[in-house]
Amino acid sequence: MAPDTQERRSWNGWLSYAWSRVQDRVDGTDVRRSWDQTHAVGGGITWSDHPWQATIAGSYHTGWPTTPVTVDGIGARNSARFKDYSSVDVRVSRDFELPRGDLTVFAEVTNLLDQRNPCCVDYSFQYGADGSPELEHEYRHWLPLVPSVGVLWKF
Protein backbone atom coordinates (compact mmCIF):
# COMPACT_ATOMS: atom_id res chain seq x y z
CA MET A 1 0.00 0.00 0.00
CA ALA A 2 1.06 3.56 -0.59
CA PRO A 3 2.01 5.42 2.61
CA ASP A 4 -1.00 7.75 2.41
CA THR A 5 -3.47 4.87 2.20
CA GLN A 6 -2.08 2.80 5.04
CA GLU A 7 -4.16 2.59 8.18
CA ARG A 8 -2.70 4.72 10.95
CA ARG A 9 -1.53 2.91 14.03
CA SER A 10 -3.19 4.18 17.20
CA TRP A 11 -0.24 3.38 19.50
CA ASN A 12 3.46 4.05 18.99
CA GLY A 13 6.34 4.05 21.39
CA TRP A 14 10.06 4.47 21.66
CA LEU A 15 12.83 3.58 24.06
CA SER A 16 16.48 4.63 24.07
CA TYR A 17 19.54 4.03 26.19
CA ALA A 18 22.95 5.64 25.89
CA TRP A 19 26.16 5.05 27.76
CA SER A 20 28.61 7.89 27.34
CA ARG A 21 31.58 9.61 28.88
CA VAL A 22 32.67 13.18 28.22
CA GLN A 23 36.10 14.21 29.47
CA ASP A 24 38.78 16.82 28.99
CA ARG A 25 42.47 16.24 29.53
CA VAL A 26 43.69 18.86 32.01
CA ASP A 27 47.39 18.81 32.96
CA GLY A 28 47.60 15.14 31.94
CA THR A 29 44.52 14.09 33.93
CA ASP A 30 41.10 13.15 32.52
CA VAL A 31 38.38 15.34 34.06
CA ARG A 32 34.65 14.85 33.51
CA ARG A 33 32.92 17.69 31.71
CA SER A 34 29.99 19.34 33.43
CA TRP A 35 27.45 17.71 31.08
CA ASP A 36 28.79 14.16 31.40
CA GLN A 37 25.90 11.78 31.98
CA THR A 38 27.11 8.20 32.01
CA HIS A 39 23.70 6.55 31.68
CA ALA A 40 20.73 8.09 29.88
CA VAL A 41 17.35 6.45 29.28
CA GLY A 42 14.38 7.90 27.45
CA GLY A 43 11.08 6.54 26.30
CA GLY A 44 7.48 7.27 25.65
CA ILE A 45 4.13 6.21 24.29
CA THR A 46 1.90 8.09 21.87
CA TRP A 47 -1.76 7.41 21.20
CA SER A 48 -3.28 8.89 18.08
CA ASP A 49 -6.83 8.79 16.76
CA HIS A 50 -7.22 11.65 14.33
CA PRO A 51 -7.84 14.43 15.27
CA TRP A 52 -6.60 13.63 18.80
CA GLN A 53 -3.11 12.78 19.99
CA ALA A 54 -1.73 12.10 23.50
CA THR A 55 1.88 11.48 24.50
CA ILE A 56 3.65 10.60 27.73
CA ALA A 57 7.45 10.63 27.74
CA GLY A 58 10.04 10.04 30.40
CA SER A 59 13.74 10.69 30.69
CA TYR A 60 16.42 9.78 33.20
CA HIS A 61 20.16 10.32 33.30
CA THR A 62 23.02 10.07 35.74
CA GLY A 63 23.51 13.29 37.69
CA TRP A 64 25.88 15.84 36.22
CA PRO A 65 29.35 16.26 37.71
CA THR A 66 29.98 19.03 40.18
CA THR A 67 32.99 20.28 42.09
CA PRO A 68 32.78 19.82 45.87
CA VAL A 69 33.40 22.91 47.97
CA THR A 70 34.12 22.96 51.70
CA VAL A 71 35.24 25.59 54.16
CA ASP A 72 38.76 24.20 53.72
CA GLY A 73 38.78 24.65 49.96
CA ILE A 74 37.69 23.39 46.60
CA GLY A 75 37.87 19.68 45.78
CA ALA A 76 38.97 18.12 42.50
CA ARG A 77 37.12 19.55 39.51
CA ASN A 78 33.87 17.65 38.78
CA SER A 79 34.77 14.82 41.18
CA ALA A 80 31.26 14.64 42.71
CA ARG A 81 27.82 14.34 41.11
CA PHE A 82 24.41 15.88 41.58
CA LYS A 83 21.57 13.46 42.19
CA ASP A 84 20.22 11.74 39.08
CA TYR A 85 17.87 13.64 36.77
CA SER A 86 14.40 12.39 35.87
CA SER A 87 11.32 13.88 34.27
CA VAL A 88 7.93 12.77 32.97
CA ASP A 89 6.19 14.98 30.41
CA VAL A 90 2.66 14.70 28.96
CA ARG A 91 0.90 16.37 26.04
CA VAL A 92 -2.61 16.20 24.59
CA SER A 93 -3.47 17.88 21.29
CA ARG A 94 -6.32 18.17 18.84
CA ASP A 95 -6.08 19.12 15.17
CA PHE A 96 -8.66 21.17 13.29
CA GLU A 97 -8.75 21.48 9.51
CA LEU A 98 -9.45 25.06 8.46
CA PRO A 99 -10.19 26.57 5.07
CA ARG A 100 -6.66 28.00 5.19
CA GLY A 101 -4.35 25.51 6.87
CA ASP A 102 -4.53 23.43 9.99
CA LEU A 103 -4.90 24.45 13.61
CA THR A 104 -3.48 22.42 16.50
CA VAL A 105 -4.56 23.17 20.07
CA PHE A 106 -2.53 21.54 22.84
CA ALA A 107 -2.05 21.30 26.58
CA GLU A 108 1.10 19.91 28.11
CA VAL A 109 2.84 19.47 31.42
CA THR A 110 6.62 19.37 31.70
CA ASN A 111 8.03 17.59 34.76
CA LEU A 112 4.63 16.16 35.71
CA LEU A 113 5.95 14.57 38.92
CA ASP A 114 7.60 17.87 39.97
CA GLN A 115 11.05 16.33 40.39
CA ARG A 116 13.59 18.63 42.01
CA ASN A 117 16.46 18.02 39.59
CA PRO A 118 19.49 19.95 40.83
CA CYS A 119 21.50 21.90 38.30
CA CYS A 120 23.59 24.35 40.24
CA VAL A 121 24.81 25.37 43.67
CA ASP A 122 25.11 28.85 45.15
CA TYR A 123 27.73 29.11 47.93
CA SER A 124 28.15 31.73 50.61
CA PHE A 125 30.55 31.94 53.55
CA GLN A 126 29.45 33.17 56.93
CA TYR A 127 31.03 33.26 60.36
CA GLY A 128 29.56 31.34 63.28
CA ALA A 129 29.06 32.70 66.79
CA ASP A 130 32.56 31.50 67.70
CA GLY A 131 34.07 33.30 64.70
CA SER A 132 34.75 30.14 62.70
CA PRO A 133 33.88 30.17 58.98
CA GLU A 134 30.78 28.26 57.85
CA LEU A 135 29.85 27.32 54.33
CA GLU A 136 26.22 27.75 53.28
CA HIS A 137 25.06 26.19 50.05
CA GLU A 138 21.75 26.45 48.21
CA TYR A 139 20.87 24.07 45.41
CA ARG A 140 19.08 25.48 42.40
CA HIS A 141 16.93 23.19 40.27
CA TRP A 142 15.76 22.72 36.73
CA LEU A 143 12.18 23.65 35.93
CA PRO A 144 9.48 22.48 38.34
CA LEU A 145 6.11 21.22 37.10
CA VAL A 146 5.21 23.56 34.23
CA PRO A 147 1.74 23.44 32.63
CA SER A 148 1.25 25.16 29.31
CA VAL A 149 -1.34 25.52 26.57
CA GLY A 150 -0.83 26.62 23.02
CA VAL A 151 -2.14 27.00 19.53
CA LEU A 152 -0.25 26.27 16.31
CA TRP A 153 -1.62 27.45 12.98
CA LYS A 154 0.01 25.92 9.89
CA PHE A 155 -0.91 27.65 6.65
User: 33-91 pLDDT, tens per residue?
Assistant: 988 989 999 999 999 999 999 999 999 999 999 999 998 889 999 999 999 999 999 99
DSSP H or E run through 154: strand 146-154
DSSP H helices, 41-85, are none
In contact, 88 and 111? CB cutoff 8 Å: yes
Question: Which is it for the CA torsion 37, 38, 39, 42, positive or negative?
Answer: positive
Determine, yes or no, domain membership for 42.
yes
What is the pTM (predicted TM-score) of this model? 0.80
Which residue range is the domain that position 30 belongs to? 3-114+143-154
Determine, yes or no, domain membership for 135.
no
Residues near 69 by beta carbon (within 8 Å), at least 6 away in sequence: 75, 121, 123, 135, 137
Determine, yes or no, domain membership for 72.
yes
Spatial distance between the Cα atoms of 140 and 122, rounded to a whole number of angstroms: 7
Is pLDDT at 2 greater than 90 in this prediction? no
Is pLDDT at 3 greater than 70 in this prediction? no
Mean pLDDT, residues 2-19: 78
Mean pLDDT, residues 131-137: 91
Determine, yes or no, domain membership for 126.
no
Determine, yes or no, domain membership for 39.
yes
Q: How many CB atoms lie within 10 A of CB 115?
A: 19
Determine, yes or no, domain membership for 137.
no
Determine, yes or no, domain membership for 138.
no
pLDDT of residue 8: 60
Domains contained in the chain, number: 1
Residues near 121 by beta carbon (within 8 Å), at least 6 away in sequence: 66, 69, 137, 138, 139, 140
- Residues of the chain with pLDDT > 70, as a percent, come to 95
